[in-house]
Structure 1
């Protein structure tokens, strides 16, 4: 498909080229679609760094009902059960779709798919490709498929800076690239921009993943959901490298244990042990670190010399850090890893703003609830991409508009936000720190600077965390440590968050006078 970059002929525009964006574009074929990537296709996507696989009930002793139960349990009461059922029933077909696009999944000597075990799963149901480099293999294969598809126009090195809204609906996208700023007219936009890990000092995400899609949607007036729920992976490699290399949960699935610097296993009495839900394990590790102890993942007994063959990518990352996991334990610490919250969408990815869809981590479908079940995220992206594409294809292209010029915000830079987010929005939260963070973030978000968009995303997370006066799933308040049985999923707009932050600042100023 060829087109004038400014006049895309009413074609849908997909922003983001990770797994969700690539799959949505492929499902839209042969309808013309434009895929926008701020980096060369197949690079700098969260999906590419995923070591875990895709959860799907493919084993003879497994089934969608069991996958459903595990997902609901991990989500801690906030999952949308209808959405969970829809995704887990579609998961086996999603694996087949990926194989048709050329993905080669790992198989055993008998030719059957090799199924792994991860935390909070009752059965082996994790499908991998290229061992512990599933994300990289998926993105590589699908990027090649996208390049072979003539109906997909790929715009690399271009970044969406604002969604243009007219009469309460999407009218276009303001895009910045090497040739300058372009306003692209379209009434159909799909956000597939990944997560928010780049807002934190310790993260497994690309540092540029700072909630850009959330900022685009929020500034356009869309409703966001469950922003307070941020998952911290308990076992990132404790090294100076950023983003932090991930030591996959699959290593614990093979029997590795968490020990302190004295070699003491501190999760022995925890139900599920090392395979307890991620929030439980992450808090346990956090408490060890807060007490001044170091934490290690010990795979010497369960894997030993087989570690490199079973987990070649992790072994390589360890060796780069001067660690041989076959003969010594791996130093680990928690890191921001996945955002359960996102743009509030319905069953086919439609947001509250006409003409705007969301897919993948940037969306909040209700699948994950308060705490994502391991390896459900890639499954969600693959399964929902088809539904999003069908909905987009069925929507009217709308009329082409002559777009008015608008202020072009600078490229987002979250570097000055990271200390604030890491301190207030981390594994253990409290009201005082959240209020202080909201006041600081409001001042940054209120001006047009590189940190403003990351600040407004962090501000909305802080306000959502303040409003949830309980501890549930990945959201833990030391001042509200109990679970509130009456709690429900949360909803928030940018206007609501700013209003709440202003009120907090006003109350703080009146108390100080």
Structure 2
């Protein structure tokens, strides 16, 4: 190792969950180090448009309540939410938002109150927002500023390769590469994974380039359990342009439909009429599936979102407006061409509502974590709230665990590890074709075989190699979970099993790695080798 850093807590990731945890850890007197493989602002948080779903005690619709928010979340989650976790996280939402505002976040207002909108799956106007449709950017700005002014060190351009242990087996920190590729060790008794999502598994996504499932892979290789990976939420409405079929696609926030926009097919017919009681504000899995069916029926590559009747569209949705104008579309006068794209992972590293995983000293918060809040399909705008609540709670949990005997150990310094990598273009095309919205046993098996054949073991000496290895391992885990779940539920749709099966499948599929590198379900059923 050529360099070393020490802390009580290492936070991997600079999104809402990671920075919230770092700020709370500083308040608790913990020596905290934040590390990110890119710039501090490069993660998913800054791209979030819609807002934060929260019921505030002094500002809410008549009849709305935390209990009603819980009910909407459970409905969207299609039977797989952990109801206790849902209640716990949502109950702390208002206090978490107050803390974010105290850190400097500025939300849009209507008079003396915060402005509220409605999004898919919500039965009330409870989504607060900033900058019209730039909520994530404002949250990222406020938290980054607070971390900077608080003197919390942030190591940018440092890529975490592997979690390391002491000679006694306890978690002892992380192996990382500095900006020049030199390996070093981050020594700490506690590591919080807040690495975001896995959108780069797919050819088209709303996620930035950094969303390569790093936290999932790190946790699996450290012995943690992951669950619900088959539930990848595809956002129904991203901007479609014929010349941009791959990479990050501009999001058209669900709040546009919350303000009255409607989906039409290329023949001018309503897409969501008769599909769901909430029509255009149905949960995302319902809307995405309906859009894909209509595209298949019409042979078109997109559908149309008619927002021409929304007054003040350019002011209310400046980010969407700018993206449309850049693509040569005038949303004030013509419908916006949209399609679906990979957006959010409802599953992740199994953790409780305090961020604790099954590995002592390892914590997870944000999109990388599976707390039980989202179930089979995330309710819109619950993600930023979860990051705020669980991020702060994870810091509290670390402080309690340190007082209870979690101590720093001398790490056994490993050599830079090697792992299977797959050409990213091939992986993304394979996952898009076989593990997108419509899945089947044959397609999932073909995808797994393709990736198995294409895997090449290489040392993880660069960020690109680390990312490609993370994508390869996570893809295999996702395919295994999707193949195991022989039903359709939430954002997991099987063409060969189109109906839900509550008798056998109202439960999660959980996976882990054994010491030989085999994926196992928690009932010890072997899945496949990932070596």
Q: Same fold (TM over 0.5)?
A: yes
The secondary structure found in structure 1 opposite 2:458 is: coil
Mapped partners of 1:374, 1:33: distance in 2: 31
Report the RMSD for the aligned CA atoms in angstroms: 2.0
Partner in structure 1 of residue 348 of structure 2: 342
> How many aligned positions are there?
496
Structure number with higher strand proportion: 2
Partner in structure 2 of residue 322 of structure 1: 328
Change in 2 beyond 3 A, CA 1:189/1:441: same
Q: Deviation per CA, 1:324-364: give whole Å up to 9, x if none.
A: 00001100000000000100002211111111000000000
Q: Deviation per CA, 1:113-151: give whole Å up to 9, x if none.
A: 11100011010000101110000111011101100112x
Q: Tell me which of 451, 469, 473 is aligned to 1:441.
A: 451
Partner in structure 1 of residue 113 of structure 2: 112
The alpha-carbon deviation at position 501 of structure 1 amounts to 4.5
Alignment of 1:247-258 (within 5 A): 247-258=252-263
The alpha-carbon deviation at position 173 of structure 1 amounts to 0.7
Partner in structure 1 of residue 391 of structure 2: 385
The alpha-carbon deviation at position 289 of structure 1 amounts to 2.2
Change in 2 beyond 3 A, CA 1:494/1:442: farther
Partner in structure 1 of residue 50 of structure 2: 52
Alignment of 1:97-496 (within 5 A): 97-108=99-110, 110-150=111-151, 152-166=152-166, 167-179=168-180, 180-239=182-241, 240-241=243-244, 242-271=247-276, 272-291=278-297, 292-293=299-300, 294-301=302-309, 303=310, 306-396=312-402, 398-409=407-418, 414-445=424-455, 447-448=457-458, 450=465, 451-486=468-503, 487=505, 488-495=507-514
The alpha-carbon deviation at position 440 of structure 1 amounts to 2.2
Mapped partners of 1:99, 1:477: distance in 2: 42
Kindly indicate whether the alpha-carbon contact (under 8 Å) linking 1:427 and 1:476 is maintained by their aligned counterparts in 2. Answer: yes
The secondary structure found in structure 1 opposite 2:140 is: helix
Name the TM-score, length of structure 1 as normaliser.
0.93
Mapped partners of 2:248, 2:434: distance in 1: 20
The secondary structure found in structure 1 opposite 2:100 is: helix
Structure 1 stretch 184-193 or stretch 395-404: which is displaced more?
395-404
The alpha-carbon deviation at position 452 of structure 1 amounts to 2.9
Mapped partners of 2:38, 2:416: distance in 1: 23
Change in 2 beyond 3 A, CA 1:283/1:26: same
The secondary structure found in structure 1 opposite 2:94 is: helix
Mapped partners of 1:266, 1:474: distance in 2: 18
Mapped partners of 2:231, 2:494: distance in 1: 12
Partner in structure 2 of residue 25 of structure 1: 22
Kindly indicate whether the alpha-carbon contact (under 8 Å) linking 1:10 and 1:400 is maintained by their aligned counterparts in 2. Answer: no
The alpha-carbon deviation at position 65 of structure 1 amounts to 0.5
Q: Deviation per CA, 1:17-66: give whole Å up to 9, x if none.
A: 01111111001013210000112222x21011000100001304211110
Mapped partners of 1:8, 1:503: distance in 2: 34
Kindly indicate whether the alpha-carbon contact (under 8 Å) linking 1:16 and 1:35 is maintained by their aligned counterparts in 2. Answer: yes
Structure 1 runs, 4 residues or longer, greater than 6 Å off? 410-413
The alpha-carbon deviation at position 425 of structure 1 amounts to 1.0
The alpha-carbon deviation at position 288 of structure 1 amounts to 2.1
The alpha-carbon deviation at position 238 of structure 1 amounts to 0.6
The secondary structure found in structure 2 opposite 1:161 is: strand
Unaligned runs of 5+ in 2: 460-464
Kindly indicate whether the alpha-carbon contact (under 8 Å) linking 1:118 and 1:275 is maintained by their aligned counterparts in 2. Answer: yes
Structure 1 stretch 258-267 or stretch 243-252: which is displaced more?
258-267
Mapped partners of 1:193, 1:187: distance in 2: 19
The alpha-carbon deviation at position 5 of structure 1 amounts to 9.4
Structure 1 stretch 72-81 or stretch 202-211: which is displaced more?
202-211
Structure 1 stretch 180-189 or stretch 438-447: which is displaced more?
438-447
The secondary structure found in structure 2 opposite 1:386 is: helix
